[in-house]
Amino acid sequence: MMQNKTVEISYFKAWKGKQLAINQLRGDPVKSFKLHPAYLYMIEQVNPGSTTHLKVNEDGSFKYMFLAYRACIAGFRYMRKVISVDGTYLTGKYKGVLLIATAQDGNHHQYPIAWAVVDSECEESWTWFFEKLHELISDDVELLFISDRHKRIINGLASVYKQARHGHCIWHLGQNIKLGPKSKVGGIALFMQAAKAYKQVEFGELYEKMKNSYPGITKYLEASIDREKWAIAYFPGSRYNIMTTNGSESINAKLVFARELTMIALLDAIQSLISSWFNNHRKAAVASTRHLTPWA
């Protein structure tokens, strides 16, 4: 500032000026939270059938928010019954965590189902998220959830969805293997092959090879996780080819800039993203002369 404008100011004054400029461009975070109830109310009025929930603390401050648009809710019955859940941190003034549940359609496109903003990624917040999701998607033995292996997700899911099955993301499990027993890249690649093997005979051959070449990996797996949670050959339901949480993570990645914004701006970004995707797929559906999925 001294070199460019020949004006000398304190660090605090420069920082304060920057914050004022950001608030003018992106909106005031405090005012955004105050507008939150009205914003959610208008979503339900303008888009009937959409579901919103807002939970506050005893002092009236924000705690949890849940949002699922009607189109996303209605379209899930045409998706594979595999739901990926993931959380990502918000980077704005008040932080927090953005939770998401996604599915996959017959063309392997990622399909957003529901979102939530919570104060922290704890077992209580995940349980609340699953409770609200349960109001839209019933518990079912044919339903599968995929997530990483954090206890807060596992416990929250088990307390709400008692019949649905739960599988683990093999990418995250592969990262845990790297952080646990020392192994070469070849060992991780062999683990991935074994996890994706559809036949138990093929799995057995790969697992035995992994046990002989990288005993540390098999020792870690046998001590830490049930085989049916990560090996598709032993999974008791229909997991299809969905082995990771890449779907939910990739959608969250589309909002990397929006995660810096105020709450209302973040919700606007989510709405804009979903509207764009649904519009593009609607155009493709209108132009198609064949069934879009086996269930259509």
Q: How confident is the model over 245-285, as pLDDT tens digits?
A: 988 888 888 888 878 878 888 888 899 999 998 888 888 87
- Find the angle CA(127)-CA(130)-CA(131) to the nearest 5 degrees: 85
Q: Which residues make beta-bridge pairs with 103?
A: 111
Q: What is the residue whose two structure tokens read 């997700």?
A: 153
Rounded Cα gap, residues 215 and 213, in angstroms: 6
The H or E element spanning position 97 is: strand 97-104
User: Which carries the bigger pLDDT value, residue 169 or residue 59?
Assistant: 169
Q: What is the longest distance spanned by two Cα atoms in the chain?
A: 76
pLDDT, position 255: 84
Integer-rounded Cα Rg, in Å, for the chain is 23
Percent of the chain past pLDDT 70, that is, above it, reads: 88
For position 16, what pLDDT does the model report? Answer: 62
List, for residues 99-112, the tens digit of each pLDDT value.
999 998 877 888 99
Per-residue CA distances from 129 to 11, 117, 135, 288 (Å): 41, 9, 10, 36
Residue 26, classed as helix, strand or coil, is: helix
- Mean pLDDT over residues 94-123, rounded? 89
Region 226-250: mean pLDDT is 89
Rounded CA-CA distance 199/19 in Å is 58
- Checking DSSP bridges between strand 82-89 and strand 165-168, what pairing results, if any? unpaired
Q: Note the residue count of the chain.
A: 296
pLDDT of residue 262: 82
Check pLDDT > 80 for residue 96: yes
Q: Where are the beta strands (DSSP E) in 141-232?
A: 144-147, 165-168
Q: What integer pLDDT is reported at residue 22 of this predicted model?
A: 56
CA distance 293 to 141: 22
Closest CA to 141 of 243, 240, 237: 237
The whole-model pTM stands at: 0.85
**148 has a pLDDT exceeding 60:** yes
Looking at per-residue pLDDT, the higher value among 225 and 262 belongs to 225
1 secondary structure, DSSP code: -
Domain boundaries, the chain: 28-169+244-280, 170-241
Residue 109 contacts residue 292 (beta carbons within 8 Å)? no
pLDDT given at position 35: 84
Neighbouring residues of 264: CB distance < 8 A, sequence distance ≥ 6: 27, 32, 35, 36, 39
Over the stretch 33-92, which tens digit does the pLDDT of each residue have?
A: 788 889 999 999 999 999 999 998 888 888 999 999 999 999 998 898 999 999 989 887
Is the domain 28-169+244-280 a CATH 3.30.1360 member? no
Rounded CA gap, 34 and 219, in Å?
53
Q: What is the pLDDT of residues 14-40, one digit of tens each?
A: 656 655 655 555 556 677 778 888 999
